[in-house]
Structure 1
Amino acid sequence: MTQGFDKDYWESHWRQANERGAGRQLAPNPYLARETSGLVPGTALDAGCGEGAEAIWLAAEGWQVTAADISAEVLSRASERAVKAGSAPERVRWLETDLSVWKPGERFDLVTTHYAHPAMPQLAFYERISDWVAPGGTLLIVGHLHTPGHGHGHGHPPEEASVTAASVTAGLDAARWDVVTAEEHVRTLTNRAVQLHDVVVRATRRP
């Protein structure tokens, strides 16, 4: 199990984050709008939705969203914030589940994940959720290129939780996927004065 990233870990993490007042602004990841701007809204899965910023933004853009997370603590706050935001909360289904074992029973036009650390190796998680993309649909992965001094607050992760753009795209069968974006970026969170080393991969599943 990857660094104990199980349900107990995430319940504790989000309780502490709430006490610190983290995540209050609910700004969606900046790559989300850029990478989905040309897509026609349909069904979307936000895998490891956390405080719900991306799910709420997608709903406001017209997507029908399944927002899944292992933590009941964070899902409760996310759903409350969706209602307060007034951004089509009826378009979001909040789902408490362990994505390492969950089977959705359907495929989605968009499957996206942002900094989710599951209780399984990172690349295996990405491979798992990629199976849930419908033919012609989009996979959008935003992960951490874990380097010394990165500032996301999970401590120094084990090797299997670290990814590069190349390692993510290597897991996408070229016969089934067209890779649109495979990039690595450094950006600064001004509210915490820390740098994030990001990996962004977007791919389209061939019909």
Structure 2
Amino acid sequence: MTAPQPQNDAEQFWEDRYTSRPQVWSGNPNQPLADLVATLSPGRALDLGCGEGGDAVHLAARGWQVTAVDISPTALARTRALAERAGVADRITTEQHDLAHTFPEGAYDLVSAQFLQSPLEFPRDEILRKAARALAPNGLLFIVEHGSVPPWAPNPHVHHRFSTPQEIYDGMALDPARYRPERLATQERLATGPNGVTGPLTDVVVLIRRIS
């Protein structure tokens, strides 16, 4: 097994990605998160790997107090700028973390890990366990990951094995007396790639509630 990358390597990788373009993501929230949040009363939310802030701003606009976390200073600056433009800067706090080494403090009603994946090796199971421990009683951990290769990828037919929802949940090794899986599923959606190509994508969805 490859050892986790040194912290500065991971930070440099993501900082290079964000500084290479004026905008990497659409600025819109991830749809699975938006669908879930529409059913919840606002509280305290933790957004892991917030990118340029689309999810954090959506949560704040719906009344949540959000801690938005990313490894890239540029991503966090763009999150703050988006929050200012949306008029919700007072409800978003940004924190820089390499989650392989540090983790935000506090207890949260919702912890969101939307596509918290990386081409670099990192301790995903350990990070997700910490995310579960950060839940307040009755809080929800919502994990969404890629379950298929986008049709617009350079080599869309190259075989890559994605984790199943059950594998993600099992890898966290949570105490069943404290945590309950509420949803372990895959779902398809249509998405548009950077060159305007539209095609189906599979999302892997894991929703876990802290019960004690």
Q: Same fold (TM over 0.5)?
A: yes
The CA distance in 1 between the partners of 2:124 and 2:153, in whole Å, is: 16
Which deviates the most, 194-203 or 60-69?
Answer: 194-203
The CA distance in 1 between the partners of 2:139 and 2:56, in whole Å, is: 17
The CA distance in 2 between the partners of 1:144 and 1:17, in whole Å, is: 23
Task: Assess if the C-alpha contact under 8 Å between 1:44 and 1:111 holds in 2.
Answer: yes
Which deviates the most, 176-185 or 66-75?
Answer: 176-185
Over the residues paired in the alignment, what is the CA RMSD in angstroms?
2.7
Could you say if the C-alpha distance between residues 137 and 185 of structure 1 is closer, same or farther in structure 2, counting changes exceeding 3 Å? same
Deviation at 1:42, TM superposition (A): 0.9
Percent of aligned pairs with the same amino acid: 32
Aligned residue among 188, 200, 204 for 1:199 = 204
Deviation at 1:149, TM superposition (A): 4.9
Aligned positions of 1:121-160 closer than 5 A:
121-145=123-147, 147-149=148-150
Partner of 1:164: 164
Gaps of 5+ in 2: none
Deviation at 1:195, TM superposition (A): 4.3
* Alignment pair present for 1:83 and 2:102: no
Partner of 1:92: 92
Aligned-partner SS, 2:20: helix
The CA distance in 2 between the partners of 1:128 and 1:175, in whole Å, is: 17
Partner of 2:101: 101
The CA distance in 2 between the partners of 1:113 and 1:188, in whole Å, is: 21
The CA distance in 2 between the partners of 1:71 and 1:150, in whole Å, is: 28
Deviation at 1:27, TM superposition (A): 1.0
Could you say if the C-alpha distance between residues 17 and 197 of structure 1 is closer, same or farther in structure 2, counting changes exceeding 3 Å? farther
Could you say if the C-alpha distance between residues 105 and 82 of structure 1 is closer, same or farther in structure 2, counting changes exceeding 3 Å? closer
Partner of 1:47: 48
Q: Which amino acid aligns with 2:206?
A: V
Number of equivalent positions:
199
Task: Assess if the C-alpha contact under 8 Å between 2:37 and 2:59 holds in 1.
Answer: no
Q: Which amino acid aligns with 1:168?
A: I
Gaps of 5+ in 1: none
Partner of 2:17: 13
Which deviates the most, 169-178 or 5-14?
Answer: 169-178
* Alignment pair present for 1:120 and 2:125: no
The CA distance in 1 between the partners of 2:21 and 2:89, in whole Å, is: 23
